[in-house]
Structure 1
Amino acid sequence: MKKYPYFEGWYLKHQANGEMIAFIPAVHAGITGEWEASVQVITGEGAWNFPYPVSECSIDKKNFRIKIGDNLFSKKGIKVDLKNREMSIKGGISYGPFTGLKKDIMGPFRLLPFLECNHGVVSMRHRARGSVTVNGKTLDMTGGTGYIETDWGHSFPKEYVWTQCLFNGKQEGSIMLSAADVPLWGRSFRGVICAAYLGGHMYRMATYLGARIVRYNEREVYLKQRKLFLKVTKLGERSFGLYAPQKGSMSRIIRESPVCRVRYQMWYGKKSILDITDNNASFEAVRAQQP
């Protein structure tokens, strides 16, 4: 086991036919060192948490295989069987080949052992096939797409904006952006990481690549990296509460808009390379907790 406080989780998003469902399997331990596991589920209708004893959790990060209870999350796909008093979710979704990044999204910051939170991208985009039944309603993911990322450390940043979108139709692709408060050597700065997979080409923007945050608030992030520009604007929202780590314990409540109207615009110089408004984007804007 890792030293505590510690958390590690994976965000597996699936999207097809106007429907979205995401799963967050995780393992975590607070300052008391009591290890627990959980699976959170997010749909366009709400969010639910299913706790498990850590004895029912096994993790193989090298081969990407996480098993919690009767639920399996792997590079081949997922199988879920979750049930409590208000929610029942069962089914399976298989995956096509992953679209990974050639280099770690954290860049040189991955070498810093004391960051409160680390981020990784497992797959920017992959095919999905199968279905899950949520309280009697079947969500058919066949012909759809998926996205997977991971976080680990002891706490989510005190303030951050995160968004992810799978583009389908005329302009296919995937984008992930995170702008967050990063504590470093007694101070803090606002850092950013972003990957956009568009038309078979991967664009990267990050603080360590020279990206600068021109504008940042709960509804908009505007980045500049030499001749590359990105503007993300939230146009609508319907948010639900999720559990997030604070000193390893899943005791912090954040708000995510899992099916949100967001506009993404990207330019290289004066040439537009992306301008799309999507109604199924995911978006989180989190402020610092008051003391």
Structure 2
Amino acid sequence: MINRHTHPEIFQGQLKHQHYFEGWYFKHTSTSSNQSIAFIPGISLNPDDSHAFIQVIQSHPVRTYYFTYPLDTFHTTDVPFSVTIGDSFFSLTETRIDINDDTYHFKGQFLYDTIIPINRSLLTPNIMGFFSYIPKMACKHGVISMHHHVNGTLTDAGGHTLTFKQDHGYIEKDWGHSFPEKYIWSQANHFPTKQASLMVSVATIPLLKTSFIGHLCHLHLDGKDYRFATYNGSKITQLKITDQHLFLILTKNQWRLEINAWLDDAKELKAPLNGAMTDTIKEGLGGKLDFKLYHHNQLIHADSSPYAGIEVVKMANINVD
């Protein structure tokens, strides 16, 4: 039987659950069209309105869409992994989009290759490390592909054709019953000078009757992985947040990672609250992200991406001391 801890891409829940959500995040960037678009297939299980959905966010400018489907149109396979909702199909090698609600229509196909998963071990079976073994956490997170090539075409809701030729893709997911009350998240994997992909999140994590500030950050740089996380002894040494800007310094032993991110435009996405997609967050998909990686105070690499996804949710009063 496939290990769900080491393979977070597969469906983690059961359709008989109540107050449960699960969603996958497939991001694609077309440099020729100067556009990024992410499709979020998922399910919302709750007593009032259980359904499957495909959520879409696209930039520039940022637009969002939410399409609902009957729950019986949701199907998954473990080996090989796939998710089917309505006439759309998602996997690690191909995605086929066919969404039509009589108002908006998306149709296209993406082919993926050179999937780059994160490094894993017994103690860190996925991006959450040993926290992934804790049952009934409000929200769990999985990184499926830090980077892969995307080829294909897509006709968007405005009737424009986006072309993807050896462009960049990224896949992650979340599951549980609710997003953290406060968190920041950013991701970028389109950098001009080296093959790099970075994801980072800082959040309030409820645990039993208390909560703590946890962080996850994974940098894939020219075939090497750098992990900064609460569970491996990494520390947040600086964190400054406004509605439009994030500055974060993470340290682990003699390594230091500095991250600057700027949110230029954002629109509302639906988010889970006790399994129901009734909450809202704001995400930008065309922000700017800079990073600098140091070892023993020597700069190893610095880079910048204009295609960053960024979310900042109620973080103004967070205390990381």
Shorter-normalised TM range: over 0.9
Bigger mean CA deviation after superposition, 119-128 or 207-216: 207-216
Q: Which runs of 5+ in 1 are unaligned?
A: none
1:30-109, aligned counterparts within 5 Å? 30=46, 32=47, 34-44=49-59, 45=61, 46-103=63-120, 104-109=126-131
In the alignment, does 2:203 pair up with 1:176?
Answer: no
> Where does residue 234 of structure 1 map in the other structure?
261
> Where does residue 150 of structure 2 map in the other structure?
128
Give a deviation string over 1:67-104, Cα, whole Å, max 9, x none. Answer: 00000001111101112354221110100031112311
The amino acid of 2:56's aligned partner reads V
> Where does residue 147 of structure 1 map in the other structure?
170
Give a deviation string over 1:199-236, Cα, whole Å, max 9, x none. Answer: 11111111000011122334222211121212222234
Q: In structure 1, which of residues 90, 111, 122 is the aligned counterpart of residue 133 of structure 2?
A: 111
1:141-290, aligned counterparts within 5 Å? 141-216=164-239, 217-218=241-242, 219-287=246-314
- Stretches (4+) displaced over 6 A: none
Q: Which runs of 5+ in 2 are unaligned?
A: 1-14, 121-125, 317-321
> May I ask how many residue pairs the two structures share in their alignment?
288
Q: In structure 1, which of residues 17, 23, 34 is the aligned counterpart of residue 39 of structure 2?
A: 23
Bigger mean CA deviation after superposition, 196-205 or 264-273: 264-273
The amino acid of 2:216's aligned partner reads I
Q: CA deviation at 1:279?
A: 1.3
The amino acid of 1:74's aligned partner reads S
What do you get for the CA RMSD once the two structures are aligned? 1.6
| Aligned 8 A contact 2:192 2:303 in 1 | no
Q: CA deviation at 1:123?
A: 0.6
Q: CA deviation at 1:63?
A: 2.6
| Aligned 8 A contact 2:183 2:204 in 1 | yes
TM-score (norm 1): 0.94
TM-score (norm 2): 0.86
Output the CA distance in 1 between the equivalents of 2:263 and 2:218.
23
| Aligned 8 A contact 2:257 2:294 in 1 | yes
| Aligned 8 A contact 1:5 1:33 in 2 | no
Bigger mean CA deviation after superposition, 146-155 or 209-218: 209-218
Output the CA distance in 1 between the equivalents of 2:184 and 2:165.
30
| Aligned 8 A contact 2:263 2:310 in 1 | no
**% same residue:** 33
Q: In structure 2, which of residues 1, 25, 40 is the aligned counterpart of residue 11 of structure 1?
A: 25
Output the CA distance in 1 between the equivalents of 2:117 and 2:135.
23
